[in-house]
Structure 1
Protein backbone atom coordinates (compact mmCIF):
# COMPACT_ATOMS: atom_id res chain seq x y z
CA UNK A 1 0.00 0.00 0.00
CA UNK A 2 1.39 3.41 -0.98
CA UNK A 3 2.23 5.71 1.94
CA UNK A 4 1.14 9.31 1.40
CA UNK A 5 1.61 12.23 3.76
CA UNK A 6 -0.41 15.40 3.27
CA UNK A 7 0.68 18.74 4.72
CA UNK A 8 -2.28 21.04 4.45
CA UNK A 9 -5.47 22.73 5.49
CA UNK A 10 -8.54 21.64 7.40
CA UNK A 11 -11.64 23.81 6.94
CA UNK A 12 -15.23 23.63 8.06
CA UNK A 13 -17.09 24.30 4.81
CA UNK A 14 -20.31 26.30 4.80
CA UNK A 15 -21.97 25.75 1.44
CA UNK A 16 -24.37 28.47 0.31
CA UNK A 17 -26.64 27.32 -2.51
CA UNK A 18 -27.52 30.36 -4.64
CA UNK A 19 -29.06 30.98 -8.08
CA UNK A 20 -26.10 33.16 -9.15
CA UNK A 21 -23.44 35.39 -7.64
CA UNK A 22 -25.05 38.59 -6.34
CA UNK A 23 -24.08 41.90 -7.89
CA UNK A 24 -22.64 44.61 -5.67
CA UNK A 25 -25.44 45.97 -3.49
CA UNK A 26 -27.83 43.12 -4.36
CA UNK A 27 -29.69 41.12 -1.71
CA UNK A 28 -30.17 37.53 -2.85
CA UNK A 29 -32.16 34.69 -1.30
CA UNK A 30 -30.30 31.40 -0.86
CA UNK A 31 -31.88 28.12 -1.91
CA UNK A 32 -30.17 26.15 0.87
CA UNK A 33 -27.16 26.08 3.20
CA UNK A 34 -25.16 23.16 4.57
CA UNK A 35 -21.95 22.37 6.44
CA UNK A 36 -19.36 19.70 5.64
CA UNK A 37 -15.72 18.91 6.44
CA UNK A 38 -13.28 20.31 3.89
CA UNK A 39 -10.02 22.13 3.30
CA UNK A 40 -7.82 21.40 0.29
CA UNK A 41 -5.36 19.36 2.31
CA UNK A 42 -8.01 17.32 4.08
CA UNK A 43 -9.90 16.71 0.84
CA UNK A 44 -6.76 15.43 -0.87
CA UNK A 45 -5.98 13.18 2.08
CA UNK A 46 -9.50 11.73 2.10
CA UNK A 47 -9.34 11.08 -1.63
CA UNK A 48 -5.99 9.31 -1.35
CA UNK A 49 -7.23 7.18 1.57
CA UNK A 50 -10.53 6.19 -0.04
CA UNK A 51 -8.66 5.27 -3.21
CA UNK A 52 -6.28 2.88 -1.52
CA UNK A 53 -3.38 4.69 0.15
CA UNK A 54 -2.12 4.72 3.73
CA UNK A 55 -2.39 8.42 4.67
CA UNK A 56 -0.87 10.63 7.38
CA UNK A 57 -1.85 14.27 7.88
CA UNK A 58 0.14 17.28 9.11
CA UNK A 59 -1.88 20.37 10.00
CA UNK A 60 -3.70 22.26 12.73
CA UNK A 61 -7.21 22.91 14.01
CA UNK A 62 -8.57 25.06 16.79
CA UNK A 63 -9.66 23.64 20.12
CA UNK A 64 -13.29 24.13 19.16
CA UNK A 65 -16.33 22.30 17.84
CA UNK A 66 -15.32 22.62 14.19
CA UNK A 67 -11.85 21.32 14.97
CA UNK A 68 -13.30 18.19 16.54
CA UNK A 69 -15.65 17.79 13.56
CA UNK A 70 -12.71 17.81 11.15
CA UNK A 71 -10.57 15.47 13.24
CA UNK A 72 -13.47 13.04 13.58
CA UNK A 73 -13.99 13.10 9.81
CA UNK A 74 -10.35 12.28 9.04
CA UNK A 75 -10.24 9.54 11.65
CA UNK A 76 -13.50 8.05 10.36
CA UNK A 77 -11.73 7.57 7.02
CA UNK A 78 -8.77 5.91 8.73
CA UNK A 79 -6.32 8.81 8.27
CA UNK A 80 -3.58 9.14 10.89
CA UNK A 81 -4.01 12.51 12.66
CA UNK A 82 -1.16 12.18 15.16
CA UNK A 83 0.48 15.26 13.60
CA UNK A 84 -2.61 17.48 13.59
CA UNK A 85 -2.08 20.09 16.31
CA UNK A 86 -5.05 21.28 18.39
CA UNK A 87 -4.47 24.96 19.17
CA UNK A 88 -6.20 26.81 21.99
CA UNK A 89 -7.33 30.37 21.41
CA UNK A 90 -7.33 29.96 17.64
CA UNK A 91 -10.38 29.26 15.49
CA UNK A 92 -10.43 26.30 13.13
CA UNK A 93 -10.13 27.22 9.47
CA UNK A 94 -13.35 27.91 7.58
CA UNK A 95 -14.48 28.18 3.97
CA UNK A 96 -17.62 29.78 2.61
CA UNK A 97 -18.59 28.24 -0.71
CA UNK A 98 -21.07 30.06 -2.92
CA UNK A 99 -22.47 27.30 -5.09
CA UNK A 100 -24.37 28.58 -8.12
CA UNK A 101 -27.22 26.77 -9.86
CA UNK A 102 -24.93 25.95 -12.83
CA UNK A 103 -22.62 24.01 -10.40
CA UNK A 104 -19.81 26.59 -10.48
CA UNK A 105 -18.50 27.82 -7.16
CA UNK A 106 -16.73 30.80 -5.62
CA UNK A 107 -14.91 30.27 -2.33
CA UNK A 108 -13.88 32.56 0.53
CA UNK A 109 -11.38 31.18 3.04
CA UNK A 110 -10.66 32.13 6.65
CA UNK A 111 -7.28 30.56 7.43
CA UNK A 112 -7.55 30.34 11.22
CA UNK A 113 -5.44 27.52 12.66
CA UNK A 114 -4.17 26.61 9.19
CA UNK A 115 -2.07 29.78 9.19
CA UNK A 116 -0.32 28.64 12.38
CA UNK A 117 1.26 25.55 10.83
CA UNK A 118 5.03 26.03 10.98
CA UNK A 119 8.43 24.38 10.77
CA UNK A 120 8.02 22.92 14.26
CA UNK A 121 4.98 20.95 13.11
CA UNK A 122 6.99 19.67 10.17
CA UNK A 123 9.97 18.76 12.35
CA UNK A 124 7.71 16.74 14.65
CA UNK A 125 6.57 14.74 11.62
CA UNK A 126 10.04 14.30 10.11
CA UNK A 127 10.12 10.52 10.47
CA UNK A 128 6.63 10.22 9.00
CA UNK A 129 7.56 12.34 5.97
CA UNK A 130 10.74 10.38 5.32
CA UNK A 131 8.90 7.05 5.55
CA UNK A 132 6.39 8.13 2.90
CA UNK A 133 6.28 7.44 -0.83
CA UNK A 134 4.67 10.81 -1.59
CA UNK A 135 4.34 14.18 0.17
CA UNK A 136 1.53 16.50 -0.97
CA UNK A 137 1.16 20.18 -0.05
CA UNK A 138 -0.90 23.23 -1.06
CA UNK A 139 -0.81 26.94 -0.19
CA UNK A 140 -3.61 27.11 2.39
CA UNK A 141 -0.90 26.61 5.00
CA UNK A 142 2.24 28.81 5.26
CA UNK A 143 4.82 28.37 2.52
CA UNK A 144 7.67 28.23 5.04
CA UNK A 145 6.24 24.97 6.39
CA UNK A 146 5.89 23.55 2.88
CA UNK A 147 9.48 24.41 2.06
CA UNK A 148 10.70 22.74 5.24
CA UNK A 149 8.63 19.62 4.51
CA UNK A 150 9.83 19.38 0.91
CA UNK A 151 13.46 19.62 2.07
CA UNK A 152 12.86 16.73 4.46
CA UNK A 153 11.11 14.72 1.74
CA UNK A 154 13.84 15.16 -0.85
CA UNK A 155 16.51 14.24 1.70
CA UNK A 156 14.80 10.82 1.79
CA UNK A 157 14.00 10.65 -1.96
CA UNK A 158 10.26 11.03 -1.33
CA UNK A 159 8.17 12.26 -4.29
CA UNK A 160 6.91 15.83 -3.74
CA UNK A 161 3.62 17.02 -5.22
CA UNK A 162 2.65 20.70 -5.02
CA UNK A 163 -0.86 22.00 -5.59
CA UNK A 164 -0.18 25.78 -5.84
CA UNK A 165 -3.57 26.93 -4.60
CA UNK A 166 -4.47 29.59 -3.74
CA UNK A 167 -2.06 30.71 -6.45
CA UNK A 168 0.62 33.33 -6.00
CA UNK A 169 3.14 34.88 -8.38
CA UNK A 170 5.83 34.70 -5.71
CA UNK A 171 6.59 31.00 -5.32
CA UNK A 172 10.19 30.68 -4.09
CA UNK A 173 12.52 29.21 -6.70
CA UNK A 174 13.92 26.99 -3.94
CA UNK A 175 10.51 25.39 -3.40
CA UNK A 176 9.90 24.75 -7.09
CA UNK A 177 13.36 23.20 -7.36
CA UNK A 178 12.29 20.70 -4.69
CA UNK A 179 8.99 19.95 -6.47
CA UNK A 180 8.77 16.75 -8.50
CA UNK A 181 5.25 17.47 -9.75
CA UNK A 182 3.26 20.70 -9.72
CA UNK A 183 -0.50 20.50 -10.35
CA UNK A 184 -2.27 23.86 -10.88
CA UNK A 185 -5.59 24.43 -12.61
CA UNK A 186 -5.72 26.77 -15.59
CA UNK A 187 -6.42 29.87 -13.48
CA UNK A 188 -3.59 29.11 -11.09
CA UNK A 189 -1.22 28.39 -13.97
CA UNK A 190 -2.00 31.81 -15.46
CA UNK A 191 -1.45 33.62 -12.16
CA UNK A 192 1.91 31.90 -11.65
CA UNK A 193 3.26 32.13 -15.20
CA UNK A 194 1.41 35.13 -16.65
CA UNK A 195 0.30 32.96 -19.58
CA UNK A 196 -3.50 32.70 -20.12
CA UNK A 197 -4.34 29.01 -20.51
CA UNK A 198 -6.95 28.87 -23.25
CA UNK A 199 -5.87 26.19 -25.77
CA UNK A 200 -3.35 23.41 -26.39
CA UNK A 201 -0.53 25.78 -27.31
CA UNK A 202 -0.98 27.93 -24.20
CA UNK A 203 -1.14 24.83 -21.98
CA UNK A 204 2.22 23.75 -23.37
CA UNK A 205 3.67 27.25 -22.97
CA UNK A 206 2.50 27.53 -19.35
CA UNK A 207 3.83 24.06 -18.52
CA UNK A 208 7.23 24.86 -20.03
CA UNK A 209 7.33 28.12 -18.10
CA UNK A 210 6.68 26.26 -14.85
CA UNK A 211 9.55 23.93 -15.71
CA UNK A 212 11.78 26.93 -16.43
CA UNK A 213 10.83 28.22 -12.97
CA UNK A 214 12.11 24.98 -11.44
CA UNK A 215 9.32 22.38 -11.34
CA UNK A 216 10.31 19.08 -12.95
CA UNK A 217 6.93 17.73 -14.08
CA UNK A 218 3.65 19.58 -14.68
CA UNK A 219 -0.02 18.67 -14.88
CA UNK A 220 -2.51 21.46 -15.60
CA UNK A 221 -6.16 20.65 -14.95
CA UNK A 222 -8.71 22.49 -17.08
CA UNK A 223 -12.02 21.61 -15.47
CA UNK A 224 -14.61 19.88 -17.60
CA UNK A 225 -12.18 19.76 -20.53
CA UNK A 226 -9.61 17.49 -18.91
CA UNK A 227 -5.92 17.57 -17.96
CA UNK A 228 -2.65 18.34 -19.74
CA UNK A 229 0.65 16.78 -18.66
CA UNK A 230 4.20 17.79 -19.55
CA UNK A 231 6.96 15.71 -18.05
CA UNK A 232 10.65 16.29 -17.44
CA UNK A 233 11.59 13.86 -20.22
CA UNK A 234 9.49 15.80 -22.74
CA UNK A 235 6.51 13.43 -22.76
CA UNK A 236 3.28 15.41 -22.97
CA UNK A 237 -0.36 14.91 -23.78
CA UNK A 238 -3.94 15.79 -23.04
CA UNK A 239 -6.45 13.48 -21.34
CA UNK A 240 -10.09 14.54 -21.83
CA UNK A 241 -12.42 14.63 -18.84
CA UNK A 242 -15.40 12.32 -18.65
CA UNK A 243 -18.68 13.96 -19.64
CA UNK A 244 -21.03 14.00 -16.67
CA UNK A 245 -23.77 16.21 -15.24
CA UNK A 246 -22.03 18.32 -12.61
CA UNK A 247 -23.88 19.17 -9.39
CA UNK A 248 -21.04 20.72 -7.35
CA UNK A 249 -17.43 21.12 -8.52
CA UNK A 250 -16.10 21.65 -4.97
CA UNK A 251 -13.17 19.27 -4.27
CA UNK A 252 -12.96 18.04 -7.86
CA UNK A 253 -9.37 19.24 -8.14
CA UNK A 254 -8.52 17.85 -4.71
CA UNK A 255 -9.97 14.47 -5.63
CA UNK A 256 -7.91 14.54 -8.83
CA UNK A 257 -4.68 15.07 -6.88
CA UNK A 258 -5.47 12.48 -4.23
CA UNK A 259 -6.39 9.94 -6.89
CA UNK A 260 -3.40 10.76 -9.09
CA UNK A 261 -0.88 10.23 -6.30
CA UNK A 262 -2.29 6.82 -5.39
CA UNK A 263 -1.67 5.58 -8.94
CA UNK A 264 1.43 7.45 -10.10
CA UNK A 265 4.59 5.33 -10.14
CA UNK A 266 7.82 6.71 -8.67
CA UNK A 267 9.29 7.17 -12.16
CA UNK A 268 6.00 8.72 -13.41
CA UNK A 269 6.14 6.59 -16.56
CA UNK A 270 2.46 5.72 -16.10
CA UNK A 271 1.36 9.36 -15.96
CA UNK A 272 -1.29 9.07 -18.68
CA UNK A 273 -2.97 6.08 -17.00
CA UNK A 274 -2.78 7.83 -13.62
CA UNK A 275 -4.40 10.97 -15.08
CA UNK A 276 -7.21 8.88 -16.59
CA UNK A 277 -7.86 7.32 -13.20
CA UNK A 278 -7.81 10.74 -11.52
CA UNK A 279 -10.20 12.16 -14.14
CA UNK A 280 -12.62 9.30 -13.43
CA UNK A 281 -12.49 9.96 -9.68
CA UNK A 282 -13.04 13.70 -10.16
CA UNK A 283 -16.00 12.99 -12.46
CA UNK A 284 -17.73 11.14 -9.63
CA UNK A 285 -16.99 13.94 -7.16
CA UNK A 286 -18.68 16.65 -9.25
CA UNK A 287 -21.88 14.59 -9.36
CA UNK A 288 -22.34 14.90 -5.58
CA UNK A 289 -22.77 17.83 -3.20
CA UNK A 290 -20.19 18.93 -0.66
CA UNK A 291 -16.44 18.38 -0.55
CA UNK A 292 -15.57 15.22 1.37
CA UNK A 293 -19.06 13.67 1.18
CA UNK A 294 -18.74 13.48 -2.62
CA UNK A 295 -15.24 11.95 -2.80
CA UNK A 296 -15.53 8.38 -4.14
CA UNK A 297 -14.11 5.07 -2.96
CA UNK A 298 -11.86 2.84 -5.05
CA UNK A 299 -14.76 0.47 -5.73
CA UNK A 300 -16.87 3.36 -7.06
CA UNK A 301 -14.12 4.54 -9.39
CA UNK A 302 -13.38 1.04 -10.65
CA UNK A 303 -17.08 0.44 -11.28
CA UNK A 304 -17.37 3.71 -13.23
CA UNK A 305 -14.52 2.64 -15.50
CA UNK A 306 -16.09 -0.74 -16.26
Structure 2
Protein backbone atom coordinates (compact mmCIF):
# COMPACT_ATOMS: atom_id res chain seq x y z
CA UNK A 1 0.00 0.00 0.00
CA UNK A 2 1.30 3.47 -0.93
CA UNK A 3 1.92 5.85 1.97
CA UNK A 4 0.30 9.28 1.72
CA UNK A 5 2.66 11.96 3.05
CA UNK A 6 1.93 15.67 3.54
CA UNK A 7 4.85 17.99 4.24
CA UNK A 8 4.49 21.42 5.84
CA UNK A 9 7.78 23.14 5.21
CA UNK A 10 10.27 25.38 3.52
CA UNK A 11 10.97 26.09 -0.14
CA UNK A 12 14.42 27.56 -0.84
CA UNK A 13 16.49 28.10 -3.94
CA UNK A 14 19.94 26.75 -2.96
CA UNK A 15 23.11 28.36 -4.27
CA UNK A 16 26.15 26.14 -3.67
CA UNK A 17 29.74 27.44 -3.77
CA UNK A 18 32.45 24.76 -3.88
CA UNK A 19 35.63 25.66 -1.98
CA UNK A 20 38.84 23.81 -1.11
CA UNK A 21 38.25 24.52 2.59
CA UNK A 22 36.07 26.75 4.76
CA UNK A 23 37.26 30.38 5.01
CA UNK A 24 38.61 31.66 8.32
CA UNK A 25 37.10 34.82 9.87
CA UNK A 26 38.07 37.81 7.71
CA UNK A 27 39.49 35.60 4.96
CA UNK A 28 38.52 35.76 1.27
CA UNK A 29 38.72 32.55 -0.79
CA UNK A 30 38.02 31.81 -4.44
CA UNK A 31 35.06 29.52 -5.07
CA UNK A 32 35.88 26.78 -7.57
CA UNK A 33 32.31 26.31 -8.77
CA UNK A 34 28.85 27.82 -8.30
CA UNK A 35 25.48 26.16 -8.95
CA UNK A 36 21.81 26.71 -8.09
CA UNK A 37 19.10 24.12 -7.44
CA UNK A 38 15.74 23.69 -5.73
CA UNK A 39 16.01 23.02 -2.00
CA UNK A 40 14.77 23.84 1.49
CA UNK A 41 14.30 21.21 4.21
CA UNK A 42 10.60 20.82 3.51
CA UNK A 43 10.97 20.59 -0.26
CA UNK A 44 13.86 18.11 0.03
CA UNK A 45 11.86 15.89 2.38
CA UNK A 46 8.82 15.97 0.10
CA UNK A 47 10.90 15.07 -2.96
CA UNK A 48 12.59 12.24 -1.05
CA UNK A 49 9.18 10.88 -0.01
CA UNK A 50 7.80 11.18 -3.55
CA UNK A 51 10.82 9.61 -5.25
CA UNK A 52 10.73 6.75 -2.75
CA UNK A 53 7.14 6.01 -3.74
CA UNK A 54 4.87 8.04 -1.43
CA UNK A 55 1.86 10.00 -2.67
CA UNK A 56 3.04 13.45 -1.55
CA UNK A 57 1.41 16.85 -0.95
CA UNK A 58 3.04 20.11 0.12
CA UNK A 59 1.94 23.03 2.31
CA UNK A 60 4.16 26.13 2.14
CA UNK A 61 4.69 29.58 0.72
CA UNK A 62 6.76 31.23 -2.02
CA UNK A 63 7.27 34.82 -3.10
CA UNK A 64 5.71 36.38 -6.19
CA UNK A 65 8.95 35.91 -8.15
CA UNK A 66 10.70 33.62 -10.61
CA UNK A 67 12.31 31.67 -7.75
CA UNK A 68 8.86 30.81 -6.39
CA UNK A 69 7.65 29.59 -9.77
CA UNK A 70 10.86 27.57 -10.12
CA UNK A 71 10.25 25.91 -6.75
CA UNK A 72 6.63 24.99 -7.55
CA UNK A 73 7.64 23.54 -10.92
CA UNK A 74 10.48 21.59 -9.28
CA UNK A 75 8.02 19.87 -6.93
CA UNK A 76 5.56 19.24 -9.75
CA UNK A 77 8.35 17.50 -11.69
CA UNK A 78 8.23 14.85 -8.95
CA UNK A 79 4.42 14.63 -9.07
CA UNK A 80 4.01 16.43 -5.74
CA UNK A 81 0.63 18.10 -5.16
CA UNK A 82 1.39 21.85 -4.95
CA UNK A 83 -2.18 23.18 -4.70
CA UNK A 84 -1.59 24.24 -1.06
CA UNK A 85 1.50 26.37 -1.77
CA UNK A 86 0.48 29.99 -1.19
CA UNK A 87 2.09 33.09 -2.73
CA UNK A 88 3.28 36.03 -0.63
CA UNK A 89 2.81 39.37 -2.42
CA UNK A 90 5.44 41.26 -0.41
CA UNK A 91 8.20 38.84 0.72
CA UNK A 92 10.50 36.95 -1.66
CA UNK A 93 11.02 33.20 -1.92
CA UNK A 94 13.40 31.65 0.62
CA UNK A 95 17.01 31.00 -0.31
CA UNK A 96 20.06 29.22 1.04
CA UNK A 97 23.76 29.77 0.42
CA UNK A 98 25.88 26.65 0.87
CA UNK A 99 29.67 26.48 1.21
CA UNK A 100 30.85 22.96 0.33
CA UNK A 101 34.46 21.87 0.91
CA UNK A 102 36.52 19.06 -0.62
CA UNK A 103 35.69 16.72 2.27
CA UNK A 104 31.98 16.98 1.52
CA UNK A 105 31.24 19.06 4.65
CA UNK A 106 29.04 22.11 4.39
CA UNK A 107 28.20 25.40 6.07
CA UNK A 108 24.81 26.90 5.24
CA UNK A 109 23.26 30.37 5.52
CA UNK A 110 19.47 30.45 5.14
CA UNK A 111 17.22 33.42 4.30
CA UNK A 112 13.71 32.43 5.38
CA UNK A 113 11.79 34.87 3.18
CA UNK A 114 8.23 33.76 2.45
CA UNK A 115 8.76 30.55 4.44
CA UNK A 116 8.50 32.65 7.59
CA UNK A 117 5.12 34.02 6.46
CA UNK A 118 3.18 30.73 6.52
CA UNK A 119 0.03 31.53 8.52
CA UNK A 120 -2.45 29.39 10.47
CA UNK A 121 -5.23 30.20 8.00
CA UNK A 122 -3.18 28.76 5.12
CA UNK A 123 -2.74 25.56 7.13
CA UNK A 124 -6.50 25.43 7.80
CA UNK A 125 -7.10 25.89 4.05
CA UNK A 126 -4.99 22.74 3.51
CA UNK A 127 -7.05 20.70 5.98
CA UNK A 128 -8.07 18.08 3.40
CA UNK A 129 -4.43 17.41 2.46
CA UNK A 130 -3.64 16.81 6.15
CA UNK A 131 -6.74 14.71 6.93
CA UNK A 132 -6.15 12.39 3.98
CA UNK A 133 -2.47 11.72 4.78
CA UNK A 134 -0.92 8.81 6.66
CA UNK A 135 1.95 11.04 7.82
CA UNK A 136 2.36 14.78 8.35
CA UNK A 137 5.93 16.12 8.52
CA UNK A 138 7.05 19.55 9.77
CA UNK A 139 10.42 21.19 10.45
CA UNK A 140 11.54 24.56 11.86
CA UNK A 141 12.16 26.54 8.65
CA UNK A 142 8.49 27.61 8.82
CA UNK A 143 6.76 29.09 11.92
CA UNK A 144 6.00 26.73 14.81
CA UNK A 145 2.51 28.25 15.13
CA UNK A 146 1.70 26.88 11.67
CA UNK A 147 3.06 23.46 12.67
CA UNK A 148 0.94 23.45 15.86
CA UNK A 149 -2.18 24.18 13.79
CA UNK A 150 -1.32 21.47 11.26
CA UNK A 151 -0.53 18.89 13.95
CA UNK A 152 -3.84 19.66 15.73
CA UNK A 153 -5.72 18.87 12.51
CA UNK A 154 -3.62 15.74 12.03
CA UNK A 155 -4.20 14.43 15.56
CA UNK A 156 -7.96 15.08 15.31
CA UNK A 157 -8.00 12.87 12.21
CA UNK A 158 -5.71 10.03 13.28
CA UNK A 159 -2.78 11.18 11.13
CA UNK A 160 0.72 10.27 12.41
CA UNK A 161 2.84 13.40 13.06
CA UNK A 162 6.61 13.56 12.47
CA UNK A 163 8.55 16.53 13.87
CA UNK A 164 12.03 17.24 12.51
CA UNK A 165 13.31 19.93 14.93
CA UNK A 166 15.80 21.43 12.49
CA UNK A 167 17.36 23.86 12.69
CA UNK A 168 17.33 23.41 16.49
CA UNK A 169 15.25 26.02 18.30
CA UNK A 170 13.23 26.35 21.47
CA UNK A 171 10.12 24.22 20.94
CA UNK A 172 6.57 25.19 21.77
CA UNK A 173 5.61 22.59 24.45
CA UNK A 174 2.22 22.16 22.74
CA UNK A 175 3.94 21.10 19.51
CA UNK A 176 5.88 18.40 21.35
CA UNK A 177 2.69 16.99 22.87
CA UNK A 178 1.16 16.83 19.36
CA UNK A 179 4.18 15.00 17.89
CA UNK A 180 3.98 11.21 17.52
CA UNK A 181 7.70 10.97 16.77
CA UNK A 182 10.58 13.45 16.87
CA UNK A 183 13.57 13.04 14.53
CA UNK A 184 16.56 15.23 15.49
CA UNK A 185 20.24 14.66 14.71
CA UNK A 186 22.55 14.13 17.68
CA UNK A 187 23.37 17.86 18.01
CA UNK A 188 19.73 18.94 17.84
CA UNK A 189 18.73 16.25 20.34
CA UNK A 190 21.39 17.39 22.82
CA UNK A 191 20.34 21.03 22.37
CA UNK A 192 16.71 20.19 23.13
CA UNK A 193 17.25 17.81 26.06
CA UNK A 194 20.50 19.12 27.53
CA UNK A 195 21.92 15.58 27.37
CA UNK A 196 24.94 15.10 25.11
CA UNK A 197 24.67 12.14 22.72
CA UNK A 198 27.81 10.01 23.16
CA UNK A 199 26.66 6.38 23.49
CA UNK A 200 23.59 4.17 23.75
CA UNK A 201 22.94 5.06 27.39
CA UNK A 202 22.88 8.78 26.56
CA UNK A 203 20.52 8.11 23.63
CA UNK A 204 18.15 6.24 25.94
CA UNK A 205 18.40 9.20 28.36
CA UNK A 206 17.45 11.52 25.49
CA UNK A 207 14.44 9.29 24.72
CA UNK A 208 13.37 9.42 28.36
CA UNK A 209 13.68 13.21 28.39
CA UNK A 210 11.54 13.53 25.25
CA UNK A 211 8.91 11.27 26.85
CA UNK A 212 8.82 13.69 29.79
CA UNK A 213 8.23 16.48 27.26
CA UNK A 214 5.34 14.56 25.71
CA UNK A 215 6.86 12.67 22.74
CA UNK A 216 6.67 8.89 23.03
CA UNK A 217 8.85 7.98 20.04
CA UNK A 218 12.32 9.15 19.00
CA UNK A 219 14.78 8.67 16.16
CA UNK A 220 18.24 10.28 16.52
CA UNK A 221 20.32 10.38 13.34
CA UNK A 222 24.05 10.14 14.05
CA UNK A 223 25.63 11.12 10.72
CA UNK A 224 27.74 8.43 9.11
CA UNK A 225 27.29 6.10 12.11
CA UNK A 226 23.57 5.40 11.71
CA UNK A 227 20.34 6.01 13.61
CA UNK A 228 19.00 5.23 17.07
CA UNK A 229 15.31 4.63 17.62
CA UNK A 230 13.17 4.34 20.72
CA UNK A 231 9.47 3.34 20.68
CA UNK A 232 7.06 1.74 23.13
CA UNK A 233 8.23 -1.64 21.77
CA UNK A 234 11.89 -0.99 22.62
CA UNK A 235 15.04 0.67 21.29
CA UNK A 236 17.95 -0.21 18.99
CA UNK A 237 20.62 1.28 16.73
CA UNK A 238 20.57 0.80 12.95
CA UNK A 239 24.05 1.29 11.44
CA UNK A 240 24.62 3.42 8.34
CA UNK A 241 26.14 2.17 5.09
CA UNK A 242 29.83 2.99 4.59
CA UNK A 243 30.33 5.22 1.55
CA UNK A 244 32.61 8.12 0.50
CA UNK A 245 30.59 11.32 0.92
CA UNK A 246 31.03 14.13 -1.59
CA UNK A 247 28.12 16.32 -0.43
CA UNK A 248 26.12 15.82 2.77
CA UNK A 249 23.72 18.74 2.13
CA UNK A 250 20.42 16.82 1.85
CA UNK A 251 21.41 13.66 3.73
CA UNK A 252 19.07 14.20 6.69
CA UNK A 253 16.16 15.31 4.52
CA UNK A 254 16.60 12.32 2.20
CA UNK A 255 16.62 10.06 5.25
CA UNK A 256 13.41 11.51 6.69
CA UNK A 257 11.47 11.69 3.43
CA UNK A 258 12.32 8.16 2.36
CA UNK A 259 11.59 6.90 5.89
CA UNK A 260 8.06 8.33 5.69
CA UNK A 261 7.48 6.52 2.40
CA UNK A 262 8.02 3.10 4.02
CA UNK A 263 7.11 3.47 7.71
CA UNK A 264 3.86 2.00 9.03
CA UNK A 265 1.91 4.33 11.34
CA UNK A 266 2.03 1.69 14.10
CA UNK A 267 5.88 1.70 13.79
CA UNK A 268 5.88 -2.10 13.52
CA UNK A 269 8.46 -1.99 10.69
CA UNK A 270 10.65 0.82 12.06
CA UNK A 271 13.95 -1.10 11.79
CA UNK A 272 13.30 -2.05 8.14
CA UNK A 273 12.12 1.48 7.28
CA UNK A 274 15.25 2.93 8.92
CA UNK A 275 17.49 0.61 6.89
CA UNK A 276 15.72 1.74 3.71
CA UNK A 277 16.16 5.40 4.74
CA UNK A 278 19.85 4.87 5.54
CA UNK A 279 20.38 3.36 2.10
CA UNK A 280 18.64 6.31 0.44
CA UNK A 281 20.79 8.75 2.42
CA UNK A 282 23.99 6.85 1.55
CA UNK A 283 23.19 7.29 -2.16
CA UNK A 284 22.42 11.02 -1.74
CA UNK A 285 25.75 11.86 -0.05
CA UNK A 286 27.66 10.36 -2.99
CA UNK A 287 26.14 12.96 -5.32
CA UNK A 288 26.33 16.74 -5.59
CA UNK A 289 23.48 19.08 -4.74
CA UNK A 290 20.48 18.81 -2.44
CA UNK A 291 17.41 17.86 -4.46
CA UNK A 292 19.37 16.54 -7.48
CA UNK A 293 21.10 13.99 -5.21
CA UNK A 294 17.91 12.38 -3.84
CA UNK A 295 17.45 8.82 -5.18
CA UNK A 296 14.36 7.09 -6.57
CA UNK A 297 12.75 3.97 -5.11
CA UNK A 298 14.30 1.90 -7.90
CA UNK A 299 17.80 3.21 -7.14
CA UNK A 300 17.40 2.49 -3.42
CA UNK A 301 16.21 -1.07 -4.08
CA UNK A 302 18.95 -1.63 -6.68
CA UNK A 303 21.62 -0.54 -4.15
CA UNK A 304 20.36 -3.28 -1.84
CA UNK A 305 21.28 -6.03 -4.31
The answer, yes or no, to whether TM exceeds 0.5 is yes
Query: Pairwise mapping of residues 98-177 of structure 1 onto structure 2 (< 5 A)?
Result: 98-168=99-169, 170-177=170-177
User: Aligned equivalents of 2:104 and 2:196: distance in 1?
Assistant: 23
Residue in 2 that maps onto 1:282: 281
Residue in 2 that maps onto 1:267: 266
SS in 2 for 1:109: strand
How far the C-alpha of 1:207 sits from its partner, in A, is 2.0
SS in 2 for 1:46: helix
Query: Pairwise mapping of residues 107-256 of structure 1 onto structure 2 (< 5 A)?
Result: 107-168=108-169, 170-233=170-233, 235-256=234-255
User: Aligned equivalents of 1:191 and 1:272: distance in 2?
Assistant: 25
User: Aligned equivalents of 1:87 and 1:276: distance in 2?
Assistant: 39
How far the C-alpha of 1:232 sits from its partner, in A, is 2.7
User: Aligned equivalents of 1:186 and 1:279: distance in 2?
Assistant: 16
Residue in 2 that maps onto 1:71: 72
User: Aligned equivalents of 2:212 and 2:17: distance in 1?
Assistant: 40
Residue in 2 that maps onto 1:59: 60
User: Aligned equivalents of 2:232 and 2:36: distance in 1?
Assistant: 41
Q: Normalising by structure 2, what TM-score?
A: 0.98
Aligned positions, number: 304
List runs of 5+ in structure 2 lacking aligned partners: none
How far the C-alpha of 1:262 sits from its partner, in A, is 0.9
User: Aligned equivalents of 2:205 and 2:126: distance in 1?
Assistant: 37
Does the CA contact (< 8 Å) of 1:281 and 1:301 recur in 2?
Answer: yes
List runs of 5+ in structure 1 lacking aligned partners: none
Give the number of the structure with larger relative contact order, counting CA–CA contacts within 8 Å between residues 6 or more apart.
2
What do residues 70-92 of structure 1 show as CA deviations (whole Å, max 9, x unaligned)? 11100011000000012222110
How far the C-alpha of 1:21 sits from its partner, in A, is 1.5
Does the CA contact (< 8 Å) of 1:177 and 1:216 recur in 2?
Answer: no
SS in 1 for 2:224: helix
What do residues 192-236 of structure 1 show as CA deviations (whole Å, max 9, x unaligned)? 111111222222211221121111100000000000001133x10
Runs of 4+ aligned residues of structure 1 deviating over 3 Å after TM superposition are none
User: Aligned equivalents of 1:225 and 1:202: distance in 2?
Assistant: 15
Residue in 2 that maps onto 1:18: 19
How far the C-alpha of 1:9 sits from its partner, in A, is 0.2
User: Aligned equivalents of 1:158 and 1:25: distance in 2?
Assistant: 49
Does the CA contact (< 8 Å) of 1:207 and 1:220 recur in 2?
Answer: no
User: Aligned equivalents of 2:207 and 2:22: distance in 1?
Assistant: 31
SS in 2 for 1:57: strand
User: Aligned equivalents of 1:200 and 1:20: distance in 2?
Assistant: 33
How far the C-alpha of 1:10 sits from its partner, in A, is 0.2
Q: Normalising by structure 1, what TM-score?
A: 0.98
User: Aligned equivalents of 1:90 and 1:29: distance in 2?
Assistant: 31
Residue in 1 that maps onto 2:37: 36
- Aligned-residue Cα RMSD (Å) equals 0.8
